[in-house]
Every structure is written in C-alpha cells, then in structure tokens.
C-alpha cells in the first residue's frame, strides 16, 4: 500500500470513529458497545499474531508495556464511550487532538525529554484558550455537556500517559503484539465493568449499532492502528502530526451533516484556536528559520 493512500485511509478512519462510537451505544448502551468492539478486536489481533507467528513474550518489560497500553485502551476508551452520550461526535475528535500537547507535557518528567520552547508553550496556551471557548459554548447546552467534556479530557490524559509509559518501558516488540497484549488486559476489564454496572445483554441489536461495533472492531481498531504504525515508520513526525489537524474538522462536519449535531460558531471558533495551537506547538520552532532576523 502506498504511503499517501495509507495516510488518507487513517484520516478517514479517525474522522469517522467518533461518530461510530456514538452510534455503537444506541440501544445496547455504551458499555456493551465498548465491550463488543474490544472483544472483536482482541480475537482478530490474536488470530493475526498466530498467523504471522509473531513473538508474544511475557517478561517484565513486556508485561509493563501491555499494561501501559491497556491504560489507554481501557481507561481512555471508557471515558470516550461514556462522554459520547452527551458530547457531539465531532468534539470528541477535537479534544483528542490535544493529545500531542498533553503527551509533550508528560514526556518531560517521565522520559527526560528537553524542556518546552517558547513556541510550544505559546501553542499550548492558544489551545487552552480554544478549550475555554468550547467549554463556554458547551455550558449553554446543559450540565451533561460540560460533564462529558470533562470525561473526554480525562480520556486525553489517560491516553497520553499510556503512550508515554509504553515508550518509557520500551519493550522491543512488534506493534501488533503490543496492541494484542494491551487488548488482552483491557477486554476483561471492560467485561467486568459491563458485568458490574450493566450486565444486561440486548435481545436484539439495532442494525446501526451492530454495524458500528463491527466497524470499530475491524476498521477502527485493527486496520486503523496497523496503518498508523505503517505510516509512522515512513513519514516524518511533522507529516504525521497533520492527522490531528485534519481529523477534527472532518469529524465535526460529519457529525453536523450525517448525525445532525449542532455546532455553533463559538465551538467552531474554539476548534480553530485549538488547531492553531496544535500547529504552533508542532511547527512554531520553524518560524525562526523562515522569518528574517534583524540585528539589534
């Protein structure tokens, strides 16, 4: 598969995933939707690991890597699925676009990476201003909306922490093995959560919910992660960062036109600030090379 085709596929998959998450909980409930997705993804990943005869070690670093990955798969996904009851699907993509910023903050103390430069700090402040604007617009839509946004921010934090910890423990494992190991930890946790808080299996799944669960398990999880790692190895970090800038806009448009979600001007303005902050955080350091420097 060509890299541009894989890049485009990732953008389309990540743009449609928030809407599929919202639909998958219609009827069976968000916990059953999450459990169905993770169960299907686990079976498919393990089947691929066996078919490809990939190593599946269980030494200390491998276990730490699997549990670190599960922190994102279980913790972050649980927050997303819960918040999707109250938050428009497009805003899910917008807030998860903040992941690079949160990851950069966590990487400094946990990975010992270099301190943030002024451009990156300015980008974070700009994105924070956009987040404040989004929260202000959401408060007018009711308290559940604000709670949903708080849940999403918790998910962003858990996802970012998961990524940093996986990198910190650094087990030299194939990406499919890491994903499979994380799913083996996360899926039983989803089952226990569903058993404790819901435990009602639907007698019949609505067609849209069933199709969404299958789509998320096969395309959103297996194909999406595989293509992401494929592209990540073949393009620069700056190019891969474009994904987080494109998907929120597409997700907002899809939610508005397909699911008839209301997106007011204040939310669009907040989204523009968030994406501008992401761009400044990612590429702001290059401005000094482009702009002429005048001697004092």
Domain count, the chain: 1
Does residue 241 contact residue 214 with C-beta atoms inside 8 Å?
A: no
In a domain, residue 290? The reply is no
DSSP 3-state of 296: coil
Contacting residues for 115 by C-beta, under 8 A, at least 6 apart: 108
What distance in Å separates the CA atoms of residue 111 and residue 105, rounded to the nearest whole number?
Answer: 10
Contacting residues for 162 by C-beta, under 8 A, at least 6 apart: 68, 69, 70, 71, 72, 73, 75, 76
> Which tokens sit at 256?
């508005």
Does residue 127 contact residue 101 with C-beta atoms inside 8 Å?
A: yes
For 91, list phi and psi in degrees, rounded to 5: -70, -25
In a domain, residue 46? The reply is yes
Predicted pLDDT at 248: 84
Question: With the CA atoms of 247, 70, 21 and 278 taken in that order, what torsion angle do they form, in degrees rounded to the nearest 10?
Answer: -20
> pLDDT of 111-153, one tens digit each?
776 666 777 778 778 888 888 888 777 666 667 888 899 999 9
In a domain, residue 293? The reply is no
In a domain, residue 126? The reply is yes
pTM of the model: 0.85
> pLDDT of 12-51, one tens digit each?
998 999 999 999 988 889 999 999 999 999 999 999 999 9
Based on C-alpha coordinates, what's the Rg of the chain?
19
Largest CA distance in the chain: 75
Predicted pLDDT at 284: 67
Predicted pLDDT at 201: 81
Closest of 219, 126, 107 to residue 168, by C-alpha = 107
In a domain, residue 292? The reply is no
Beta strands in the chain (DSSP E): none
Closest of 76, 28, 45, 51 to residue 213, by C-alpha = 28
* Residue pLDDT tens, the chain, 296 long: 677 888 888 889 989 999 999 999 888 899 999 999 999 999 999 999 999 998 888 888 889 989 998 998 899 999 999 999 888 888 888 888 888 788 878 877 777 766 667 777 787 788 888 888 887 776 666 678 888 999 999 999 998 898 888 878 866 788 788 888 999 999 999 999 999 998 888 878 889 999 999 999 999 888 887 787 677 667 655 566 667 778 888 888 888 889 888 777 887 888 888 888 877 776 666 555 554 544 44
Closest of 120, 104, 116, 121 to residue 157, by C-alpha = 104
In a domain, residue 291? The reply is no
DSSP characters over 264-276: -HHHHHHHHHHHH
In a domain, residue 13? The reply is yes
In a domain, residue 235? The reply is yes
Closest of 173, 167, 229 to residue 49, by C-alpha = 173
Which structural domain, as residue segments, surrounds residue 167? 3-285
């Amino acid at each position: 598969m060509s890299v541009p085709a894989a890049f485009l596929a990732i953008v389309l998959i990540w743009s449609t995933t928030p809407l599929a998450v919202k639909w998958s909980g219609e009827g069976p409930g968000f916990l059953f939707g999450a459990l169905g997705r993770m169960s299907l993804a686990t079976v498919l990943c393990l089947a691929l690991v066996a078919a490809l005869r990939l190593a599946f070690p269980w030494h200390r670093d491998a276990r730490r890597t699997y549990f670190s990955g599960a922190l994102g798969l279980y913790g972050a996904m649980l927050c997303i699925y819960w918040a999707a009851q109250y938050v428009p699907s497009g805003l899910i993509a917008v807030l998860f676009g903040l992941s690079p910023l949160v990851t950069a903050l966590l990487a400094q103390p946990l990975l010992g990476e270099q301190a943030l430069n002024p451009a990156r700090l300015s980008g974070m402040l700009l994105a924070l201003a956009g987040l404040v604007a989004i929260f202000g617009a959401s408060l007018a839509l009711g308290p559940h909306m604000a709670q949903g946004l708080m849940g999403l921010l918790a998910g962003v934090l858990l996802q970012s922490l998961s990524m940093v910890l996986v990198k910190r423990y650094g087990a030299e494992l194939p990406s499919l093995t890491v994903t499979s190991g994380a799913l083996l930890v996360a899926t039983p946790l989803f089952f226990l959560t569903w058993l404790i808080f819901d435990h009602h299996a639907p007698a019949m799944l609505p067609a849209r919910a069933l199709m969404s669960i299958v789509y998320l398990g096969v395309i959103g999880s297996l194909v999406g992660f595989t293509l992401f790692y494929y592209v990540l190895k073949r393009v620069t970090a700056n190019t891969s960062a474009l994904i987080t800038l494109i998907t929120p806009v597409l997700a907002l448009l899809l939610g508005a036109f397909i699911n008839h979600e209301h997106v007011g001007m204040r939310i669009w303005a907040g989204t523009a600030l968030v994406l501008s902050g992401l761009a400044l955080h990612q590429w702001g350091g290059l401005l000094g090379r482009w702009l002429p420097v005048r001697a004092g």
